[in-house]
Amino acid sequence: MATPNNKTEKLDIVTIRFAGDSGDGMQLTGNQFTENSAIFGNDIATFPDFPAEIRAPAGSLAGVSSFQLQFSSKIIHTPGDELDVLVAMNPAALKVHLADLKEHGMLLVNSANYSPKNLKLAGYESNPLEDDSLKAYRLIQVDMSKLVKIAAEDMELTSKIVLRSTNMFALGILFWLYERNSDSAIKFLNKKFAKKPEIVELNTRALKAGINYGETVEVIKTTFNVPKATLKKGVYRNIMGNQAVSYGLLAAAKKSNLEIFFGGYPITPASDILHHLSAYKHFGVKTFQAEDEIAGIVSAIGASFAGDLAITATSGPGIALKTEAISLATITELPLVIINVQRGGPSTGLPTKTEQSDLLQAMFSRNGDAPNPIIAPYSPGDCYHSAYEACRIALKYMMPVFLLTDGYLANGSEPWLIPSLKDMPDIINRKRTDPEGFTPYKHDKDTLSRDWAIPGTPGMEHRVGGLEKADGSGNVSYDPLNHDHMTKLRHRKVEIIANDIPDAKPYGKESGELLIIGWGSTFGAIRSAVELAIEEGYSVSHLHIKYINPFPKNLGDVLLKYQKVLIPELNMGQLSMLIRSKYLVDAKQMNKIEGKPFKLSEIYNKIKEILEK
Indicate the CATH number for domain 7-225.
3.40.920.10
pLDDT < 50 positions in the chain? none
pLDDT, position 292: 97
Task: Tell me the CA distances in angstroms from 535 to 27, 79, 82, 231, 538, one per residue in order.
Answer: 35, 21, 20, 21, 8
pLDDT of residue 52: 83
> What are the sequence ranges of the domains in the chain?
7-225, 237-423, 431-500, 512-611
* pLDDT computed for residue 14 by the predictor: 98
Give strand pairing partners of 15: 70
> DSSP letters of 426-471?
P----EE---TT--TBPBPTTT-PBPEEPTT-TT------SS-B-T
Establish whether domains 237-423 and 512-611 are of one fold: yes
Pairing of strands 236-240, 413-417: antiparallel
291 secondary structure, DSSP code? S
What does CATH list as the number for 237-423?
A: 3.40.50.970
Specify the pLDDT at position 5: 59
Q: What helix, strand, coil percent values describe the chain, rounded to 5? A: 40, 20, 40
pTM equals 0.95
Q: Which helix (H) or strand (E) holds 564?
A: strand 562-569
- pLDDT for 1 equals 52
pLDDT at residue 220, rounded to an integer: 86
**What does the buried/exposed string (b/e) look like for 281-299 if buried means 16 or more CB atoms within 10 Å of the residue's CB?**
eeeebbbbebeebbbbbbb
Beta strands in 91-240 (DSSP E): 101-110, 138-142, 222-225, 236-240
CB 425 within 8 A of CB 391: no
Domain 512-611 has CATH 3.40.50.300: no
Query: What pLDDT does residue 99 have?
Result: 96
